[in-house]
Structure 1
């Protein structure tokens, strides 16, 4: 099965909930495991929340959702500047610090996640996740 959807949402907190709701509705049409659905919901929530907080004031939050066979690709874009020089290698903040955990969480939950080159002045975070549980490699 192949599905794709493009959203352009206003840069406001309610857009995070809307994006997550759309993704969970799309995923309900697949055979994705509950764990995978949960991970993807966290991925889109964190990516959209970062876009809402860090985007230029007049930016929209642009989202692409693609389901292709057993892989989900999510792209979340906005106008602004790429954090940390383009990497997801962010150090975790001190335990009592509010915020700063989104990018490390995205890196941990996604099969792949990276900031990719978009149009000039655009930040584009691309994440992929297999919909089926991928068994761990056997120990040798």
Structure 2
């Protein structure tokens, strides 16, 4: 599924709702669902916050048998020095936690080449099946 949302805070919630609706049609386990909700929320929040003023937030969601691919793009520039391997800030109430959370929860996460003046964050997450997930 692909969608293009306006650069406004409510788009974060909309993107998360679309993803959770798609996941509800699958057997994906609760842990994977929760991680993916955080991943899309943080990626979209960063796009809304850092995109050029008139940019849309473009989202692609692909759910395969055992992998989910999320791509969040916008017009702007890749953050300088804000690599995905950065440590979480202390306290967690300050900004700058999005990329480290994404790195911690995703199998892969990277800024990838796109059209000029475009930022594209590609995230993959292995999916656990609700039927095979460990019982707690």
The count of corresponding residues between Structure 1 and Structure 2 is 131
The yes-or-no answer on 1:8 pairing with 2:4 is yes
Once the 2 structures are TM-superposed, how far is the Cα of residue 103 of structure 1 from its aligned partner?
A: 0.2
Query: Superposition pairs for residues 98-137 of structure 1, below 5 Å?
Result: 98-132=94-128
Note the residue ranges of structure 1 that are not aligned, 5 or more in a row.
136-140
Instruction: Give 5+ residue unaligned stretches, structure 2.
Output: none
* 1:58 lines up with 2:62 in the alignment: no
Instruction: Give the structure with the higher percent strand.
Output: 1
- 4+ residue runs over 6 A deviation: none
State the match for 1:29 in structure 2. 25
CA RMSD, Structure 1 to Structure 2 (Å)? 1.8
Query: Once the two structures are superposed, what CA deviation does each residue of 1:32-57 show, in whole Å capped at 9, x if it has no partner?
Result: 10010000000000000000000000
* Aligned-residue offset at 1:131: 1.1
Determine whether 1:44 maps to 2:78.
no
- TM-score normalised to structure 1 length: 0.87
| 1:84 match: secondary structure | coil
